[in-house]
Amino acid sequence: MSSATPADFERITTLVARDPGDRGIAPLLVPGDLEAAVEALAAASRVVIVSGFFIPAANACETDGPPGVWAVREALRALGKEVLIATDTPCTLAFGAAGLEPDFCFDPEAEAAAVAATVEEQGPAAWLAIERVGPGADGKCHNMRGVDITPHTAPLHALFDAARLVGQPTIGVGDGGNEIGMGKVAERVAASVPLGAAIGCRVPCDHLVVAGTSNWGAWGLVAGLALKIGRPLLPTREEADAVLERCVAAGMVDGVTHRRAPTVDGLAPQHHAELLLALQGACHDV
Ligand code: MG
Ligand code: MG
């Protein structure tokens, strides 16, 4: 075991919350939540990761989310944990082609109750959403531009509502306020994010990780696990680049530019490389 301190986790929290896209996320940060999320993952023997953000205008899912799923999955597997991936049918082909074959998958037409039943079927697990849109106060899912994408979105948020009801730990990673978990800070989303009142997700989580892009939040969780456990778990830059390239080859697009290119949320590769380097620096003792 390492001797990671709360200050180490706060450093990671601050790093991943860099906001080069100027999305107004700083007020959404919850001090201590990244460390608590890491504790929950470290304590779990099984983790279900929910991701996949479909962009109807591009007829593709976006490059924010899946690379984060890959990094967390590899880290958790290295720690001997069982990892399951969940997405919905609009994203499932691309996830599979990128090496993230879903263990379960629902149609956008699925009933929330049928999705929720998965929690009981799976048994004890920690539930982690990475860049996964969820419904707002009006019951509809919105993208950051305020467009209703409910017809393209399975009600995977019901997993988190159900898990919370039975006391299983839930973690949300997001960068815009419309993702599962952001209900924890719904009033702050409404006050500080453009269109926040309209797009903010009502679904809360136990531990919220707020990041400049959600892949960074996922890396932050991996960095936190590395600090807590005392062994290196972050991907190398080469690995991270290769995963993103695989996602693009699988048909994923940048969520901001809608281009099929190895960028995330409109941010060029150097932004991601710098952030990864900074996180590796924060873990330099492990
Ligand atoms: Mg987002
Ligand atoms: Mg994003």
pLDDT in tens, 211-258: 999 999 999 999 999 999 999 999 999 999 999 999 999 999 999 999
Per-residue model confidence (pLDDT) at position 152:
96
Rounded to the nearest whole angstrom, what is the distance from the C-alpha of residue 104 to the centroid of ligand 2?
Answer: 23
Rounded to the nearest whole angstrom, what is the distance from the C-alpha of residue 121 to the centroid of ligand 2?
Answer: 30
In this predicted structure, the answer to whether residue 183 has a pLDDT above a threshold of 90 is: yes
User: Residue 170 belongs to what H/E stretch?
Assistant: strand 170-174
Rounded to the nearest whole angstrom, what is the distance from the C-alpha of residue 175 to the centroid of ligand 2?
Answer: 6
Rounded to the nearest whole angstrom, what is the distance from the C-alpha of residue 286 to the centroid of ligand 2?
Answer: 29
Per-residue model confidence (pLDDT) at position 61:
97
In this predicted structure, the answer to whether residue 3 has a pLDDT above a threshold of 80 is: no
Q: What is the pLDDT of residues 191-205, one digit of tens each?
A: 999 999 999 999 999
For 71-83, the DSSP string reads HHHHHHHHTT-EE
Rounded to the nearest whole angstrom, what is the distance from the C-alpha of residue 99 to the centroid of ligand 1?
Answer: 22
Burial grade of 109 (CB within 10 A; 0-12, 13-18, 19 or more): exposed
Cα-Cα end-to-end distance for the chain: 10
Rounded to the nearest whole angstrom, what is the distance from the C-alpha of residue 214 to the centroid of ligand 2?
Answer: 5
Rounded to the nearest whole angstrom, what is the distance from the C-alpha of residue 214 to the centroid of ligand 1?
Answer: 7
Per-residue model confidence (pLDDT) at position 24:
85
Q: What is the pLDDT of residues 122-170, one digit of tens each?
A: 999 999 999 999 999 999 999 999 999 999 999 999 999 999 999 999 9
Question: Taking all residues of the chain, what is their mean pLDDT, rounded to a whole number?
Answer: 96
Per-residue model confidence (pLDDT) at position 1:
54
Rounded to the nearest whole angstrom, what is the distance from the C-alpha of residue 238 to the centroid of ligand 2?
Answer: 21
The candidate with the shortest Cα–Cα distance to 159, out of 96, 114, 210, 93, is 114
Interatomic CA distance for residues 194 and 141, integer angstroms: 16
In the structure, ligand 1 is a single-atom ion and the residues with CB under 5 Å from it are 175-176
Residue 91, CA distances (Å) to 172, 192, 215 in order: 19, 30, 17
Rounded to the nearest whole angstrom, what is the distance from the C-alpha of residue 152 to the centroid of ligand 2?
Answer: 17
Rounded to the nearest whole angstrom, what is the distance from the C-alpha of residue 254 to the centroid of ligand 1?
Answer: 11
Rounded to the nearest whole angstrom, what is the distance from the C-alpha of residue 174 to the centroid of ligand 1?
Answer: 6
Average pLDDT for 84-102: 97
Rounded to the nearest whole angstrom, what is the distance from the C-alpha of residue 179 to the centroid of ligand 1?
Answer: 6
Rounded to the nearest whole angstrom, what is the distance from the C-alpha of residue 3 to the centroid of ligand 2?
Answer: 32
In this predicted structure, the answer to whether residue 184 has a pLDDT above a threshold of 60 is: yes
Rounded to the nearest whole angstrom, what is the distance from the C-alpha of residue 286 to the centroid of ligand 1?
Answer: 30
Rounded to the nearest whole angstrom, what is the distance from the C-alpha of residue 64 to the centroid of ligand 2?
Answer: 5
CB contact burial 236-267 (16+ within 10 A = b; e otherwise): eeeebbebbebbbebbbbbbbeeebebbbbeb
Which one of the ligands is nearest to 174 CA? Answer: 1
Q: What is the pLDDT of residues 253-273, one digit of tens each?
A: 999 999 999 999 999 999 999
Q: Is 263 helix (H, G, I), strand (E, B) or coil?
A: coil
Per-residue model confidence (pLDDT) at position 125:
98
Per-residue model confidence (pLDDT) at position 2:
64
Rounded to the nearest whole angstrom, what is the distance from the C-alpha of residue 276 to the centroid of ligand 2?
Answer: 16
In this predicted structure, the answer to whether residue 107 has a pLDDT above a threshold of 80 is: yes
Rounded to the nearest whole angstrom, what is the distance from the C-alpha of residue 145 to the centroid of ligand 2?
Answer: 12
Beta carbons within 10 angstroms of residue 123's beta carbon: 8
Per-residue model confidence (pLDDT) at position 284:
82
Q: What is the pLDDT of residues 11-69, one digit of tens each?
A: 999 999 999 888 889 999 999 999 999 999 999 999 999 999 999 999 999 999 999 99
